[in-house]
Amino acid sequence: MSGQKIVVLGTGGTIAGTSAQAGDNIGYTAGQVGVAQLLDAVPGLQTMAGELLIEQVAQIDSKDMDIEVWRALALRCTHHLKDPEVRGIVITHGTDTLEETAWFLHEVLDARKPVVLTCAMRPSTALIPDGPQNLLDAVAVAVAPGATGVLAVAAGEVHGARHVQKMHPYRVHAFASADVGPLGFVEEGQVRLTRNWPLALDGEALIAIENIANVDPWPRVEIVVSHAGATGSMVDALVRDGVQGLVVACTGNGTIHHHLEAALLRAQAAGVAVVRATRCPEGQVLPKPGDPLPDSQGLSPVKARIALMLNLLR
Ligand code: ASP
């Protein structure tokens, strides 16, 4: 039986951004307005949420997201999710790395209650800011009957952590779940699902959270890209520098330039964990018997990096 409290955790982003000139949609500074002030500006939010508990976990532009903020966020979420009074969590976040934080939290939280990330493409000083509606919609999802899992809500759509991806650098409708479409829609405060809520991870997640709290630094995993004219020199340099894992953003169905591939096989032989993800925005690598490098099982390069880092951490 879940409680009535909705926890809102602020981390910054454009939703909390301000520009000197009202209506400037690109020349603003992210992470300026406190999350309590953002919530105050949304009529009807308090009524929809019931009891609200507000915490500012960070105040950053999410392009600068780092392990310290992830650690703090995961620990605050774990704390609140355990509270029987808490019904769900809403996290305000920048759009740039929202999909990474969503996947990270999906991997580490026992999200049998909803953990809903939301954001904005326009700063709070825009002529028509999108943040207030997104916040209201995120709360609607957090209080929706049966909601579970780590979710993202923006532009009237609900996405699951696995597939959500920022697709556009400017337009307000910037997110999609390319292969599968949105998990649902928020319409006038009501959630209309297209399929079931995502299943929350448990057991394994609970082990990970201890490691997240106690291990410092986390394993170092970098991303390299296969492209025309690629060489292996970056991989060789990273191995010399002590990298523990590498994700390669491959062309097409997991193919890699032969110079880069040779370096990745050398890295793997030297004990570095190497994973292939496709750089195509849709679809996933279909592995063939005898592939020398494992694939990311459908995760995009940035999410595969997080999965590999957490696997090494486990
Ligand atoms: N750079 C901003 C951020 O990710 C972009 C945004 O939120 O839309 O924090």
Q: What is the pLDDT of residues 204-215, one digit of tens each?
A: 677 788 888 899
Alpha-carbon distance values, 250 to 33, 50, 96, 261, 308 (Å): 39, 47, 21, 10, 16
Which residue from 148, 163, 174, 7 is spatially nearest to 99, judged by alpha carbons?
163
Find all residues with CB under 8 Å of 145, minimum gap 6, and list them.
Answer: none
Alpha-carbon distance values, 261 to 115, 123, 203, 233 (Å): 39, 42, 36, 11
Q: Is 95 in the pocket of ligand 1 (CB under 6 A)?
A: yes
Is residue 231 among the annotated active site residues? no
Report the distance separating Cα 254 and Cα 273, nearest Å: 16
Which residue from 165, 106, 109, 114 is spatially nearest to 139, judged by alpha carbons?
114
Ligand 1 atom nearest residue 63's Cα? 4
What does the pLDDT read at residue 1?
A: 44
CA of 29 relative to ligand 1 center, distance in Å: 9
Report the distance separating Cα 57 and Cα 80, nearest Å: 13
Find all residues with CB under 8 Å of 288, minimum gap 6, and list them.
Answer: none
CA of 62 relative to ligand 1 center, distance in Å: 5
Report the distance separating Cα 130 and Cα 117, nearest Å: 14
* C-beta of residue 176 within 8 angstroms of C-beta of residue 167: yes
Q: Any idea which residue has 């556009």 for tokens?
A: 168
CA of 152 relative to ligand 1 center, distance in Å: 14
Q: Is 14 in the pocket of ligand 1 (CB under 6 A)?
A: yes
Which residue from 244, 255, 264, 241 is spatially nearest to 285, judged by alpha carbons?
255
Tokens of 41: 């500006």
* C-beta of residue 293 within 8 angstroms of C-beta of residue 264: yes
Mean pLDDT, the chain, whole residue set: 96
Q: Domains, the chain, ranges and CATH?
A: 5-193 (3.40.50.1170), 219-313 (3.40.50.40)
For ligand 1, atom 3, name the residue with the nearest CA.
Answer: 94
What does the pLDDT read at residue 202?
A: 59
Query: Terminus-to-terminus CA distance in the chain, angstroms?
Result: 31
* C-beta of residue 252 within 8 angstroms of C-beta of residue 226: no
Q: Digits of tens for pLDDT over the chain (314 positions)?
A: 457 999 999 999 999 999 999 889 999 999 999 999 999 999 999 999 999 999 999 999 999 999 999 999 999 999 999 999 999 999 999 999 999 999 999 999 999 999 999 999 999 999 999 999 999 999 999 999 999 999 999 999 999 999 999 999 999 999 999 999 999 999 999 999 999 999 876 566 777 888 888 999 999 999 999 999 999 999 999 999 999 999 999 999 999 999 999 999 999 999 999 999 999 999 999 999 999 999 999 999 999 999 999 999 98
What does the pLDDT read at residue 203?
A: 61
Q: Is 130 in the pocket of ligand 1 (CB under 6 A)?
A: no
What does the pLDDT read at residue 314?
A: 83
Find all residues with CB under 8 Å of 283, minimum gap 6, and list them.
Answer: 179
